[in-house]
Structure 1
Amino acid sequence: MPFIEESDLLDLHKDIDKAQIINERLLDQIKYKNKDLRKLKLQRNVLLGFVGLFVIGTLAITSFTAGLSTKQSFENQNNLLVSIDSLDAIKNRIDNLKVQNQELSLVREFYLAKEFLNKEKIYSVQVKSFVDNNVTLASEALTNTLFVKTNPFYAYSLGNFETLSEAQSFRAQLVQMGFKDAFVASYKDGKRIKIEEPF
């Protein structure tokens, strides 16, 4: 059997004790590191829990607001559809008002022309006179004709002119057409003032 000296045995025991102390220290360090790892793991799990709750909360709020905005969008679309229908009705109303405005403008122009004829001195070419007021040719709605009572006759005149020369030129055209007795007369306030020179 082999023989070990005592000094070698003591050194061996010292080495074993040192190794044991080193092992214990290492075990303590491992325990400490395991505690740190458990602590970090717990912190990570808590952090992941908060992040998860935050994400779930954000998704819930987003879906809730998206639902509200979808509802509002749907209501806005309904309002838009009503608005489009209303716009068509408004456009039709505007078109009708434009037509009425044009008609009223024509009526206004007619009455302004009649008012002008009554206030200003105008010239017209008388083509005929009648004893009775039963002439169906004359219409008071025609702005370019005059049907005036000159005692005891009713005079029928054509044309309303601002100047005597325009009326005389028109009279010459009527004479060429066959109205040989036509003459120019001046009118004011719907009454004949005088018979003018033919040329």
Structure 2
Amino acid sequence: MPFIEENDLLDLHKDIDKAQSMNEKLLDQIKIKNKDFKKIKLQRNLLLGFTVFVIVGFLALTSFTAGLSFTNSKTNQDNMVLHSLDSLEAYKARIANLKEQNQELSLVKEFYLAKEFLQKEIVYSVQIKSFAENNVSLTSDALTNTLFSKANPYYSYSIGTFETLAEAQDLRKHLVEAGIEDAFVASYKNGKRLKIEAPF
């Protein structure tokens, strides 16, 4: 075995002590670095977890509000459709009502135009009956093409108002054939009888 001198041994011990002390310092530095690394890793994991939590929360909130807005949109669309249907039915009912009123107004207009015509022009009508009393209850409201006139002391009832004598004579002919033999044609102006016309 080789022989080591004491000085060399002391130097060797010093080198070992230095190496050991350096190793301890390095271990301390490694421990500090490990602590720093763990701290950074923990901070990174916390930041990552917080970021994931925020993203998931945002997505959940977005999908929830989108679901609500879809539900609200769907409900609004359904309400709009129902409102449109209700409005459509209301408009249809109003149109039907306006058509009915228009028909009534047309009848009234025709009545007044006929009355105005009777008052301005000479018209011809077929008298079918005379009464000693005013017996208007024999007529119907549906017969608008009729004349009532008073020729003292009688009230006469005539049907049809015609612009020409020939039209009135044609109606008289049909009435005589139907059994009303005493019917005759008369001319009227302003609701008053002018004269009895020739039967043919």
Structure 1 length normalisation: TM-score? 0.59
Q: 1:119 and 2:119 equivalent? A: no
The answer as to whether partners of 1:117 and 1:188 remain within 8 angstroms in 2 is no
Alignment of 1:25-44 (within 5 A): 27=27, 30-31=30-31, 33-44=33-44
Tell me how many residue pairs correspond in the alignment.
182
The answer as to whether partners of 1:145 and 1:158 remain within 8 angstroms in 2 is yes
Alignment of 1:110-189 (within 5 A): 110-120=107-117, 121=121, 122-134=123-135, 136-139=137-140, 142-189=143-190
Question: Structure 1 residues 135 and 53, CA, compared in 2 at 3 Å: closer, same or farther?
Answer: closer
DSSP 3-state at the match of 1:42: helix
Distance in 2 between the 1:161 and 1:115 partners? 16
Distance in 2 between the 1:26 and 1:194 partners? 146
1:144 shift after superposition: 2.3
DSSP 3-state at the match of 1:157: strand
Question: Structure 1 residues 19 and 134, CA, compared in 2 at 3 Å: closer, same or farther?
Answer: same
Q: Deviations over 1:76-129 (max 9, x none)?
A: 89xx6xx87xx59x9589749945872x44543443233222211343211122
1:23 shift after superposition: 4.7
Gaps of 5+ in 1: none
The answer as to whether partners of 1:131 and 1:152 remain within 8 angstroms in 2 is yes
Gaps of 5+ in 2: none
DSSP 3-state at the match of 1:158: strand
1:34 shift after superposition: 0.8
Distance in 2 between the 1:27 and 1:39 partners? 18
Question: Structure 1 residues 118 and 17, CA, compared in 2 at 3 Å: closer, same or farther?
Answer: same
Distance in 2 between the 1:179 and 1:105 partners? 37
The answer as to whether partners of 1:140 and 1:147 remain within 8 angstroms in 2 is no
Distance in 2 between the 1:22 and 1:41 partners? 28
Structure 1 runs (4+) deviating above 6 angstroms are: 14-19, 59-66
Distance in 1 between the 2:124 and 2:107 partners? 18
1:157 shift after superposition: 0.9
Structure 2 length normalisation: TM-score? 0.59
Q: Deviations over 1:34-68 (max 9, x none)?
A: 134223223224415643763697599679979xx
Q: 1:54 and 2:51 equivalent? A: no
